[in-house]
Structure 1
């Protein structure tokens, strides 16, 4: 915690006089004086209990005199990064204690936060993508409309059937041929088997009723031997009708391919008609998380891209149990409340508080860089404003931030009591 909060490198320096007594681990509480000057100066808002840092320095003083905290090499490394920002100190502290996953998280945090803020400020229009998010309702209404049109076409000329009689076999007029074909369709419909289905589809195509033909072709179960030939014809025929029907056919075929473990082929079809969000969902359903993220990075923006990352983060957290990897994905997706909630649920009050400090510092730096540099606009922040945590999420209330700080303060106090009650040891 001392490394995270930022202690001056000079604190690790110990003179020879500090090592004269072999019994130097006996603490003399009144001899230390004010150790607060060893903490680095910072403009960060206070979080937790401000007194704890000095108390911890007093507890660690015997170990410092013996040079037991950091060796010379690590002390030099710490001296090089101590003023590079909170995230650098947090990463160093995690690495010192062997938690390299946490160290990687802190090192990636600035980039992830930059990524989220860049995406949120340069978000393109999402009206088109939003219309793609509800294809199921379009699918149902389109197929119902096709079926209704097919039924009306089949019964259109039944009232004139008596006028044809035996002459129907000698038909040559367009109306007569069209009526005969429509009359045969219900006959094929009453018969079972693939052959009857193919004859019905053939009649519909011959009549130019491509929508009804596509509907029948899409009804082929993916387990059937004719699924792929029928799927191919459905996609091709639908393209001759309309763009919306073509996209619908591709979506149905791609969904059926997932059921036959052909999800990659299905996503290629979805990409061909611009259904990148659904293609990413299919890849994630198939467990191809990296592929889905790559596809999303290439074609999706704004909230569409964030949804892919957040679903990946949920899987990494619950499926792979890798909290640190999930946290960085949450941050990149802009799901900062989820990241903070994850730390709290995993009983990491200290890390949650450090996360707030790091986000505050990085966010403040990004905001300062984006402001005009001529000095004509903007004003100096008030003391009250400078002491307030800035968290780049509108979905986290100030009360939540205060709660994190209070819980962290309680954690600090317990830590101090444990350290003071423990007997110093050189091991």
Structure 2
């Protein structure tokens, strides 16, 4: 059931982002605005529309040549063989030389969005990585990206455990949420959360749920099982 919910959420997120870009397109009034729309469309995999926007760049614009070349690249790209290796090499070189956004776009063009997410996370762009994971990756790959984000949020350097809990909730990692609440000494909240999960069938009673629950709501020596 959790997997089905995750898939539905991903579909809804992608549709929402596409609708959002469409609204931005309608309102665009400058080159920078158009470029932003094209960049978003490339990340979302909407290459045909992205090419149309790239080709709208006027000849007197300093970016005309680059945008024209990018449009040609997007229309002729293939996701296998020597071209993929070359593009991946160029993308990693771009990222290493400070062109993170451009490198990520190239990786997405050859269906390497998972690699793109890892690079974004490596360079501290955690929110962008999460967004890209939700709109381009399958549920399993997206889950891996978001779990790494949750681990980062829990690290001593960041210590945003409340936000990490929200990320884990979105993934259906209910046992982990209970454990985190317990580790934050929010014992009552952890017990109530476990109770609700058990009640609605999204969690099965086991040793972990017993430990998180029984000390607060069960008499001594009893358990949920």
TM-score category by the smaller chain? 0.5 to 0.7
Q: Which residue of 1 aligns with 2:134?
A: 297
Q: Decide whether aligned partners of structure 1 residues 324 and 242 sit closer, same or farther in structure 2, where only a CA change above 3 A counts.
A: closer
For residues 357-395 of structure 1, give each alpha carbon's deviation from its aligned partner in whole angstroms, at most 9, with x where no partner exists.
23335xx3xxxxxxxxxxxxxxxxxxxxxxxxx344xxx
Superposition pairs for residues 173-322 of structure 1, below 5 Å? 243-318=80-155, 319-322=157-160
Q: Post-superposition shift, 1:301?
A: 2.7
For residues 184-233 of structure 1, give each alpha carbon's deviation from its aligned partner in whole angstroms, at most 9, with x where no partner exists.
xxxxxxxxxxxxxxxxxxxxxxxxxxxxxxxxxxxxxxxxxxxxxxxx9x
Asked if 1:328 is matched to 2:166, the reply is yes
Q: Decide whether aligned partners of structure 1 residues 240 and 279 sit closer, same or farther in structure 2, where only a CA change above 3 A counts.
A: closer
Q: Post-superposition shift, 1:335?
A: 2.5
Moved >4 Å (runs of 4+): 114-117, 120-124, 239-242
Structure 1: give runs of 5+ residues left out of the alignment: 1-113, 125-231, 365-389, 414-427
* Structure of higher CA gyration radius: 1
Q: Post-superposition shift, 1:123?
A: 9.4
Contact 1:309/1:332 (CA < 8 Å) preserved in 2?
no
Q: Decide whether aligned partners of structure 1 residues 340 and 247 sit closer, same or farther in structure 2, where only a CA change above 3 A counts.
A: farther
Q: Which residue of 2 aligns with 1:398?
A: 206
Contact 1:284/1:292 (CA < 8 Å) preserved in 2?
yes
CA RMSD of aligned residues (A): 3.4
Q: Decide whether aligned partners of structure 1 residues 264 and 409 sit closer, same or farther in structure 2, where only a CA change above 3 A counts.
A: same
Contact 1:307/1:333 (CA < 8 Å) preserved in 2?
no
Q: Which residue of 1 aligns with 2:26?
A: none
Q: Decide whether aligned partners of structure 1 residues 407 and 252 sit closer, same or farther in structure 2, where only a CA change above 3 A counts.
A: farther
Which whole-Å CA distance do the structure 1 matches of 2:150 and 2:113 have between them? 19
Which whole-Å CA distance do the structure 1 matches of 2:116 and 2:185 have between them? 36
Q: Decide whether aligned partners of structure 1 residues 337 and 241 sit closer, same or farther in structure 2, where only a CA change above 3 A counts.
A: closer
For residues 243-274 of structure 1, give each alpha carbon's deviation from its aligned partner in whole angstroms, at most 9, with x where no partner exists.
23222222222223232222211101001111
Identify the structure with bigger relative contact order (alpha carbons < 8 Å, sequence gap 6+): 1
TM score, norm. by length of structure 1: 0.32
Contact 1:330/1:338 (CA < 8 Å) preserved in 2?
yes
Contact 2:143/2:171 (CA < 8 Å) preserved in 1?
yes
Q: Post-superposition shift, 1:345?
A: 2.5
TM score, norm. by length of structure 2: 0.58
Asked if 1:355 is matched to 2:193, the reply is yes
Count how many residue pairs are aligned between Structure 1 and Structure 2: 157
Which whole-Å CA distance do the structure 1 matches of 2:7 and 2:79 have between them? 34
Q: Post-superposition shift, 1:121?
A: 7.8
Structure 2: give runs of 5+ residues left out of the alignment: 12-68, 221-225
- Which of the residues 114, 119, 124 maps onto 2:6? 119
Superposition pairs for residues 333-352 of structure 1, below 5 Å? 333-352=171-190
